[in-house]
Amino acid sequence: MATAASNKIKYCVVMKAVSFDADTFKIILMQSGFTFNKDTHHGYADVSASELATANGYTAGGATLAGKVITEDDTDDRTEITWNNAAWSIATLPITASGAIIYDDTVTVSGSVPADPIVGYIDFGGDQTCAVGGTFTVANIEVRVA
């Protein structure tokens, strides 16, 4: 899995609009064929049309992330933010996702800071499908801000 931080999150951090220490972060699953653009996908509204619909055990708007750890990495010159795994119990029909978006659910619009700014994208490297009765899990959730 490859992850990419959005360019907007760097701006939001500098503008003190995002607090990784205090804000609530969510993760959403993206439909097959979604392509993340770190330059133009600024907020949840920019990607919500490509999010999986509420159905089969998934709820649009995503799952709240927990267990956040923030680490300074002086060797690789970046900050790493990690969270616990996120999981959805799949009912009725299988679901397929190509990746996941992490966003800050606390921030509201302020000047050029969008509501619900995107922190980053996790590319699954292709479509991942979970069968009925299974659990769709996104593990090792991490975004690196450099």
d(CA 54, CA 47): 15
d(CA 111, CA 122): 27
Q: Going along the chain, which residue ranges are E strands?
A: 2-5, 25-30, 63-64, 69-73, 78-83, 86-89, 95-104, 118-130, 135-138, 141-145
Count CB neighbours of 47 within 10 A.
Answer: 21
Query: What is the predicted pLDDT for the residue at 35?
Result: 95
Q: Is pLDDT of 42 > 90?
A: yes
**Whether 95 contacts 101, CB under 8 Å:** no
d(CA 32, CA 1): 15
d(CA 50, CA 62): 13
Q: How confident is the model at residue 1 (pLDDT cuts 50, 70, 90)?
A: low
pTM check: above 0.85: yes
**Whether 124 contacts 3, CB under 8 Å:** no
113, β-bridge pairs: 110
Query: What is the predicted pLDDT for the residue at 98?
Result: 97
Delimit the domains of the chain by residue range.
2-145
d(CA 86, CA 89): 10
pLDDT digits (tens, 9 = 90+) for 82-96: 999 999 999 989 999
The token duo for 30 is 């993206």
Higher pLDDT: 42 or 110? It is 42
